[in-house]
Structure 1
Amino acid sequence: MPWPFRSGGKWASVPAFLPRPLRKSIPLSGPLRTFRSLRRLLIGLLLLAIVPTGGNARTGWRAHALVVNSLGGALGAAQDKAFFRPFAAQMKVGILRYVWDGDPQPAARQGSGGRAWTVALMEDSTARAACMQGVLLRLGGAPGSADACGVPALREGIALAWDRGRIPVAPHWSDFWNVVRYPGKRGLRKDPRSTLEIALMADGVAPADVYAVLATPDGVARAFRKLSQLRPYIEWWTSPAESARIIGNGSVLMTSAVGGEVAAAGSGQRDVGLQWEQSLDDGLSWGVAPDLDHATRDRARSLLHFMAQPEQVARFASLYHARPDAQSVQPLPMDAAFWQEHLPDLSRRFADWLAVP
């Protein structure tokens, strides 16, 4: 039996358990995922699941729905299938998924629909900082621990993606900077995280030494000097899905990219390759909002428990390939503790560098 929902001021009916977009995205400018930047509004809303179709459920499901913030793209679609829809069907609870910019600060907690988030996916470095600031619910651990708030979700690979139609042999980060031999635009993340590590590796720093170098003033200056060499050729991306889109549509010749999004794009407009040597391995975790009522907090914990079950984990892995299959590839793990400590300062430095013509 169809159920009613409110959209654009009119009542409409859609079949139960089918997704339906409710609102347009509302992007705002500003640095990505930093704690001292202007807050960006949540940029999209997708209805994933509903409660049973009885009269009370049809009129009141939104008031009790869990609002989940995720990163969108192929990752979000895989989470829909592996986690959110099965959980909603099993537990008879609604789920609303927003696509957001990854900043859990209270000022950014209201979506275009006016609903505060319940559970959110974010980078480990963001989760650690938010935990220490009291922005996330402490789920366990010592009071002073920065690891007590995030529930591990997945490890996401950031690799070099390139247009194989124009470059037949897999390039490296040093080739990424060689615009004479390989003329064309380059894509990089508009965030110091991953971008500064890549700049140092392109400048000859061994992956194992990257964070030791980046922890020094000379190392920071070295990374920004390297970025300055490439400045006129950079096309910035701000979301995982965008990193795959700009290489798939030919906007750039090469880009740093979220591997799972590129792999999910499949055969697009370009033959896109992924170079996993000197790739980065970024941890993502689920966080829970700190100011939930008891019933909502219990539903949030139930969702986290559901997503951790082996059956659901295996289903998600079959839908989204976040990392290379080859065991010989050893990506550089992004240092969440380093970024928790240095992200505010390096974000300001990065914003200042961007502002220079």
Structure 2
Amino acid sequence: MYPSLLKRASLSCAILATLAGVTQAHAQNLTVISFGGATKAAQEQAYFKPFDQSGAGTVVAGEYNGEMAKIKAMVEVGKVSWDVVEVESPELLRGCDEGLFEHIDPAVFGDSAQYVPGTLSECGVATYVWSMVMAYNGAKLAKAPTSWADFWDVKDFPGKRGLRKGAKYTLEVALLADGVKQEDLYKVLATPEGVSRAFAKLDQLKPYIQWWEAGAQPPQWLAAGDVVMSAAYNGRIAAAQKEGVKLGIVWPGSLYDPEYWAVVKGTPNKALAEKFIAFASQPQTQKVFSESIPYGPVHKGTLDLLPAEVRAALPTAPANLEGARAVDAAFWVDHGEELETRFNAWAAR
């Protein structure tokens, strides 16, 4: 009797193991491309691994630098090897207009009222909200700066400054430093006089600027004392703070912007792609992400799940949004090419 039971138990285990193997073998791969660095590490913990464990599919994670040309080439030749891509807001608008991204089914993502306004669109769902902030090394300054005007004040705050090597964000902070009100920022920048005003302001600081191109550079330069202040992605600074680097953040005057998940046009895995994005948009998964890196969640239910000290470091925390300005994606779609061309010519002089 006992040998028979054992035999049947062993057979059942073998069948279950075989079925599990079949399920694993047929688990659909989903290629998800994001920007790498500390953000990708947080995405791995919050979204990629849990999605794999859910049994819905297997995430094959990759990274890029936002090159839309790669996506366009895939779509045009009809050989789409990327399913979900992380894109900045202007690229989402451009890609949607150019037919590079699938239109998503809003019903998959639940009640739109539960999302931060502006984070659900016809071609994408925001994955988080980040901010371009002013960061500083307090050990290198006699007092803490409080505004972009202080960033330009090399007399009271001597030392090198770090700025992103590009027109976007850099022109905005130049105008803010010059006294333009946040609500008028893009109205001013949309005029020839406003653009000239921004470049004239940058002329004042140019000898003190150390240009950065990678998000990892500002915290490294600040920690080393190469610069005393820098425009920086808030998450990169927070990651350095977690490692014990004594850096400060100035939230007033920050520029915040969502990053989006988009589904590449022509992917055979559209349904699974939408399922992944819906999975990554839940409060429980976004909680893990925001605990790993302080970027603001887009589902309103997430903030209540987070400890007060975590909420305080998020761009979407009410105190941090006060005095901040949303980046105008449509403005950069309309004017980005000409402004970047002018910036590159100015920077090369």
Q: Give the shorter-chain TM-score range.
A: 0.7 to 0.9
Separation (CA, whole Å) in 1 of partners of 2:91 and 2:316: 27
Q: Could you tell me the TM-score, scaled by structure 2's length?
A: 0.76
Q: 2:135 aligns with which of 117, 142, 161?
A: 161
Give the CA deviation at 1:134. Answer: 1.5
Q: Count matched residues.
A: 293
The residue type equivalent to 1:170 in the other structure is: A
| Aligned counterpart, 1:185 | 160
| Corresponding residue SS for 1:193 | coil
Give the CA deviation at 1:102. Answer: 1.7
Matches within 5 A, 1:24-39: none
Give the CA deviation at 1:238. Answer: 2.4
The residue type equivalent to 2:88 in the other structure is: E
Give the CA deviation at 1:173. Answer: 1.0
Identify unmatched segments of 5+ residues in structure 2.
Answer: 1-18, 107-119, 296-313
1:201 correspondence with 2:165: no
Greater fraction of residues in strand: 1
The residue type equivalent to 1:94 in the other structure is: T
| Aligned counterpart, 1:98 | 62
**Is 184-193 or 272-281 further displaced after alignment?**
184-193
| Aligned counterpart, 2:144 | 170
Separation (CA, whole Å) in 2 of partners of 1:299 and 1:107: 19
Separation (CA, whole Å) in 1 of partners of 2:194 and 2:168: 15
Identify unmatched segments of 5+ residues in structure 1.
Answer: 1-51
| Corresponding residue SS for 1:84 | helix
The residue type equivalent to 2:87 in the other structure is: M
| Aligned counterpart, 2:222 | 247
Matches within 5 A, 1:139-150: 139=104, 147-150=121-124
Q: Is the 8 A contact 1:187 1:237 kept in 2?
A: yes
Q: Is the 8 A contact 1:82 1:315 kept in 2?
A: yes
1:338 correspondence with 2:302: no
1:216 correspondence with 2:207: no
Separation (CA, whole Å) in 2 of partners of 1:53 and 1:180: 68
> Per-residue displacement from partner, 1:232-279 (whole Å, max 9, x unpaired)?
222222233333333233331110111122112225574210011111
Give the CA deviation at 1:107. Answer: 6.0
Q: Is the 8 A contact 1:106 1:135 kept in 2?
A: no
| Aligned counterpart, 1:351 | 344
Q: Is the 8 A contact 1:187 1:243 kept in 2?
A: yes
Separation (CA, whole Å) in 2 of partners of 1:326 and 1:198: 21
> Per-residue displacement from partner, 1:163-199 (whole Å, max 9, x unpaired)?
1102253212112122233232211112222111101
Give the CA deviation at 1:319. Answer: 2.0
**Is 245-254 or 159-168 further displaced after alignment?**
245-254
| Aligned counterpart, 2:113 | none
The residue type equivalent to 2:125 in the other structure is: V
Change (3 A) 1:101 1:252: same
Structure number with bigger Rg: 2
Q: 1:328 aligns with which of 312, 319, 322?
A: 319
1:283 correspondence with 2:248: no
| Corresponding residue SS for 1:66 | strand
Change (3 A) 1:140 1:303: closer
Greater fraction of residues in helix: 2
Give the CA deviation at 1:314. Answer: 2.0
Separation (CA, whole Å) in 1 of partners of 2:66 and 2:210: 21
The residue type equivalent to 1:339 in the other structure is: W
| Aligned counterpart, 1:316 | 289
**Is 163-172 or 79-88 further displaced after alignment?**
163-172
> Per-residue displacement from partner, 1:137-159 (whole Å, max 9, x unpaired)?
22259xxxx94212111111111
1:121 correspondence with 2:86: yes
| Aligned counterpart, 1:11 | none
Separation (CA, whole Å) in 2 of partners of 1:239 and 1:181: 28
| Aligned counterpart, 1:235 | 210
| Corresponding residue SS for 1:138 | coil
Give the CA deviation at 1:205. Answer: 0.9
1:273 correspondence with 2:248: yes
| Aligned counterpart, 1:78 | 42
Matches within 5 A, 1:59-78: 65-78=29-42
Q: Is the 8 A contact 1:250 1:269 kept in 2?
A: no
Q: Is the 8 A contact 2:223 2:245 kept in 1?
A: yes
Separation (CA, whole Å) in 2 of partners of 1:249 and 1:66: 40
| Corresponding residue SS for 1:266 | helix
Separation (CA, whole Å) in 2 of partners of 1:267 and 1:311: 22
Q: Is the 8 A contact 1:121 1:286 kept in 2?
A: yes
Quote the RMSD (CA, aligned, Å).
Answer: 2.8
Higher RCO structure, 1 or 2 (CA under 8 Å, sep 6+): 2
> Per-residue displacement from partner, 1:12-43 (whole Å, max 9, x unpaired)?
xxxxxxxxxxxxxxxxxxxxxxxxxxxxxxxx
Q: Is the 8 A contact 1:109 1:117 kept in 2?
A: no
